[in-house]
Amino acid sequence: MAWQQIAAERRAHRDASVAALATLSPPITVPSLPDEKDLPRHVYRIGRDALTDREREITELGPTRLVEALAKRVYTSVEVTRAFLKRAAIALKLTNCATELLPSLAIERAESLDAHLASTGKPLGPLHGLPISIKEHIGLKSHDLNAGFCAWVGTIAERDAAILKPLYDAGAVFYVRTTQPQTLMQLETSSNLFGETVCPFNRDLSSGGSSGGEGALGGMRGSCLGVGTDIGGSIRSPAANNGLYGLRPTSYRLPMGGQSATMLGAEHIVPVVGPLSTHLPGLSLFMSTVLASQPWLIDPMLVPIPWRDDESHFPLNAVTGRMKKVKIGVMRCDGVVMPHPPVTRAIDEVVGKLREYPEEFEIVQWEENEAAEAWDIISALYFVDGGEQERSAMAASGEPALPLSEWILTQPKVPKPPGHTIDALWRITGQRDAFRERFLARWLKSGIDVLLCPVGPGVAPRLGTAKYWGYTALWNLLDYPAAVFPVGVVGEQDWGSWTHKDPLSDTDRENIKLWDPECYIGAPVGLQLVGRRFDDEKVLEALNIIQGRIGLPFADATA
């Protein structure tokens, strides 16, 4: 079958999953929306206005508040699930963010949860009735598992992915699966199966990748908690591009089994699974729920570390009553690409507010000078087979390699097929380890608790232009946990002349050319907080303290 026919059939399946909403009892009616050619740049408000007040109320609650309301029977699980199914269908039409809805599966699950609560008087678990969205290549039993490749359509998951079982056992409702790019190795979400997923606050821009469907859906508030994956920025890029919170955990904390991708089993750069959420507490809720199931008793690769949020990393001094200072390193630029004005402004604003509390925060500058080497190392380790599995998966259906797939596969340090020799792989792995040792020594010498830095060289990029991964891939190379948080939107304050005129590199020269403030108006601005390996809890605690001081500047942007 030609790849074009495969793609047409998958899109028809997706349309049928939306149409199935009308067959529920009572039916869910998705309102008429403008044709794609008639849509404005900013579509969030269009989607929001298509809902009832009650549906808006439900879908705009954070995950922790929503599960509390469900446990208290303020809402039923069926009512909540129906609201999120409707909002997800609207988000799909406006941003192209989903591969399928799961109405029958979700409603049946919600009904069983309502029955359990009615009969026992107790919620099933900490996620009782909470709708959770899933990136498509995370396997869902009996459903398609194509990972963005046309030739892989028709591969059916034999079981749920390992990350889903603890969520399900805790009471989650799975109701929608979201888009990912061809190869899963893009910082945007484009595939021959479903096309491009866009940012709801500016449709000219990318939703990010590779968890870009999760990003756009969350940005539209069609999900309050979703599951993504990350090997070079694939959780953090979509979180930043869509005004969300996202966590790239330390590897080997959460289970990875049951996912579909090329190069499964590679150990040189390890992908991770993690959460995206509309609210910061959703990240801890996700992590604590999964780790409470002790997944290391099933997956022997996992490190047996429970979620350690019962003791503070920044405790109060018993004598002074003051909290231990949070020492924050600030990286404004990685020495390779100077971020666009909205990003540097956001850093300056956050740092300026934190400096108002010298008894709580100590700010130090972090000068980065090894980011170029980091990219050389990690790009050499992404495709140790020279990209043969990627190209074979595309060639099997004849689908063309999309531009950003071709770009990453032809990076200078990616070997030609058949890939690295064993000697070369050992050598580059040794370079990785030496880099990690040097970086750790610098971190320890600085004495910082966490590091604040950009998520990328700009905000959500124009489609087809996301070609610099350095600000996110650095932390994958180091295997450091990193959390993204929203800090505002691009506005007229960013329209002044940009004084950065002398490129730091050829990549920086291209990034300078991309800056045009009118192109990015309305786009969310996100920043990244990073900690040392296995300091996941410390990162989120520090972020919670920081956010308590800087507030929630993105809240008004979505209204």
Residues at the binding site for substrate are: 184, 210, 231-234
Strands in 136-172 per DSSP E? none
Torsion of CA 443, 449, 450, 451, to 10 degrees: -50
Do residues 99 and 194 lie in contact, with contact meaning Cβ atoms separated by under 8 Å?
yes
Compute CA 47 distance to the chain's CA centroid, rounded to the nearest angstrom.
Answer: 21
Compute CA 335 distance to the chain's CA centroid, rounded to the nearest angstrom.
Answer: 25
The one catalytic residue in 210, 223, 237, 251 is 210
Angle 56-484-408 from CA coordinates, rounded to 5°:
110
Is 234 an active-site residue?
A: yes
The one catalytic residue in 223, 234, 251, 379 is 234
Backbone angles phi, psi at 156, to 5 degrees: -105, 130
Task: Report the number of secondary-structure helices (H) and strands (E) in the chain.
Answer: 18, 15
Nearest in space to 291 (alpha carbons), one of 255, 250, 246: 255
In whole angstroms, give the CA distance from residue 44 to residue 279: 17
Is 135 an active-site residue?
A: yes
In whole angstroms, give the CA distance from residue 354 to residue 27: 50
- Three-state DSSP class for 476? helix
Residue 46, token pair as written in the block: 């269009």
Do residues 211 and 261 lie in contact, with contact meaning Cβ atoms separated by under 8 Å?
no
The position carrying tokens 């899963």 is 184
Would you tell me how many other CB atoms lie within 10 Å of the CB of residue 104?
Answer: 13
Partnered with residue 180 across adjacent β-strands are: none
- Three-state DSSP class for 431? helix
Compute CA 411 distance to the chain's CA centroid, rounded to the nearest angstrom.
Answer: 24
Angle 393-397-403 from CA coordinates, rounded to 5°:
65
Alpha helices in 77-198 (DSSP H): 77-95, 103-120, 164-169
Q: What is the DSSP letter of 259?
A: B
**Percent of the chain that is helix, strand, coil (3-state, to 5):** 40, 15, 45
Do residues 102 and 176 lie in contact, with contact meaning Cβ atoms separated by under 8 Å?
yes
Dihedral over Cα of 538, 367, 331, 273: its sign: negative
Do residues 241 and 164 lie in contact, with contact meaning Cβ atoms separated by under 8 Å?
no
Is 327 an active-site residue?
A: no
Nearest in space to 362 (alpha carbons), one of 422, 451, 440, 433: 451
Which pairs with CB-CB distance under 8 Å and at least 24 residues apart come from 10-17?
10/99, 10/144, 10/146, 10/153, 10/193, 10/194, 11/193, 11/194, 13/100, 13/144, 14/92, 14/98, 14/99, 14/100, 14/101, 14/194, 17/100, 17/101, 17/102, 17/103
The one catalytic residue in 86, 135, 165, 467 is 135
In whole angstroms, give the CA distance from residue 73 to residue 117: 9
In whole angstroms, give the CA distance from residue 545 to residue 548: 5
Q: Which residues are annotated as a binding site?
A: 184, 210, 231-234
Catalytic residue list: 135, 210, 234
